[in-house]
Chain A
Amino acid sequence: MKPHTRKTYVSETVAGLKPSGIRRFFDLASSLDDVVSLGVGEPDFVTSWSIREASILSLEQGYTSYTANAGLFELRQEIAAYLRRKFHVEYRPEAEILVTVGASQAIDLALRAIVNPGDEVIVVEPGFVAYEPLVVLAGGTPVAVHASGADGFQLAPARIEQAITERTKAVIICSPNNPTGTVLRPSELDALARLAERHDFLVIADEIYAELTYEGEYTSMAAVPGMRERTILISGFSKGFAMTGWRLGFAAAPQDILQAMLKIHQYAMMCAPTMAQYGALEALRNGEHEVEHMRNSYRRRRNYFVAALNEIGLPCHLPGGAFYAFPSIRHTGLTSEQFAERLLLEEKVAVVPGNVFGASGEGYIRCSYASSLEQLQEAIKRMKRFLARL
């Protein structure tokens, strides 16, 4: 008997999404042993014990039911206090803050809450891999604007301006950036703010790496004059507090937008995990010292790693934040995919090819320095050997 065939049920939108280039490298790297991995986009610290302990205590005390849709009110209050303290922006915990399942969900909610079919959302590249697909899934059209390596991957407001149309609904920015580590300058944020006012669009500001900024005061987009009403501020606990597996993030936005996000959230997710929310509460109340310790550790490793990259002949700007170095490999004549693949197969060092983060990432590779100093030294040794052979 002939087996029943069935048609493909997968939606055209989903079928049309291109698979993540990161996934391909994951499969390749996972098939090898003894890989020194610089491919990991998360802290190499385990969540600090007091945070884990607070979460365990919440379980012991039986806090195992749903919280309010927007998240524990106590936690929203702490987030509001944190945003005031860190970024000097005021949000009302009862109406303007939403606790989400990672910053990832907050980005998804932000887009779904604002995008009408056919709306355009400008995505600055190189950028986080999820932005473009999430715009598409929300029914919008992503419009890529490229930052240039020659300028340390700063925002290029002039180029953003060229990309603005009647349909432009929002611009997504990320500072410090994944994959470039670039911290956007206040002057660039200002210029973008003026565009946002003039052309009446929103800025979705992914500030998940804000805690990992090494020099100077961090400027939040929401704190730029006139921008609080035009910004959806997204952050979370994954990077700064080393809590990636907890899946906890948050969004802060003007009431009308935030309430729209909440509407989707309450149907799609109900609320973020309760035990994670108790952990986050402890993180905000008492975690500052640990964060500083981790930040210092990343900064020193950045200093070492970026200097070493330059020394072995992989020119790299000094990234101001996050834990990524984004050196150029253009002079090798290889594409970033070829470079990353050969480096992995020949020297067992895993990096992520820059083109995964958008066309302007071509010619670069992303190296995470959230690895032990020994691993970083070993990686440099192997990369040097690799380059000598090319």
Chain B
Amino acid sequence: MKLSDKELEIIEILEKDARTPIDVLAKMIELPVEETEALVKKLEEANVIVQYTALVDWRKADGHEGVTAMIDVKVTPKRGVGFDEVAERIYRFPEVKSVYLMSGAYDLSVVIEGRSMADVAQFVSEKLSTLDSVISTTTHFILKKYKHDGIIFDQGDQDRRIVVAP
């Protein structure tokens, strides 16, 4: 889908802050509110804007425990469907946050979120490793998130400028 300059601007603005009010957005891209609304709707319907999500720093939510693991998975591709079939069987599990087909030492990179390490271990040993096509798995637990999807966690981004300057 070929996007217009205005549509590209909308995506850029909403990708950075999905909560930008529609009247503000309209002013930023110099279009009337109704037209802006229509463009946003169109982008949503075409699945260019897939979803609006919140990036959460869970460490700050007391009582919330959770671990994230990245698992390197080697699989045997199947004739006719290649890696797609096994990838789908994996990404359908709700525990699985993302699945990528990779080049290099392994085939699929699978990100899992669980409440505890034991949780993740159980998922890997009982659900993932037991799939027919899966040859091997290597599990890496994430110890700390510094940057995620282009956003730096705990960035000291307070305004350091003096209040009035030439």
Query: Which residue numbers of A lie inside 8 Å of B, CB to CB?
Result: 20, 22, 25-26, 29-30, 35, 37, 39-42, 44, 46, 128-130, 178, 296, 300-301, 303-304, 307-308, 350, 352, 371, 373, 377
Contacts and interface: CB of A to CB of B under 8 A. Distances in A.
A304 to B, nearest CB: 4
A32 to B, nearest CB: 9
Given A44-B159, A300-B29, A373 B164 contact: no
A303 B30 contact: yes
B164 A25 contact: yes
A41 B165 CA distance: 5
A380 to B, nearest CB: 9
A239 to B, nearest CB: 12
B17 A26 contact: no
A39 B165 contact: yes
Nearest to B160: A46
A298 B21 CA distance: 18
B166 interface: yes
A296 B29 CA distance: 11
A293 to B, nearest CB: 9
A25 B165 CA distance: 9
B163 A29 contact: yes
A304 B27 contact: yes
Nearest to B17: A373
A308 B166 contact: no
B161 A40 contact: yes
A128 B166 CA distance: 8
A379 to B, nearest CB: 13
Given A44-B159, A373-B20, A307 B164 contact: no
B166 A22 contact: yes
A308 B27 contact: yes
B35 to A, nearest CB: 14
B10 to A, nearest CB: 11
A301 B12 CA distance: 13
A47 to B, nearest CB: 12
16 contacts: A22-B166, A26-B163, A30-B163, A35-B163, A37-B164, A39-B163, A39-B165, A40-B161, A42-B165, A296-B12, A300-B29, A307-B27, A307-B30, A308-B27, A350-B163, A350-B164
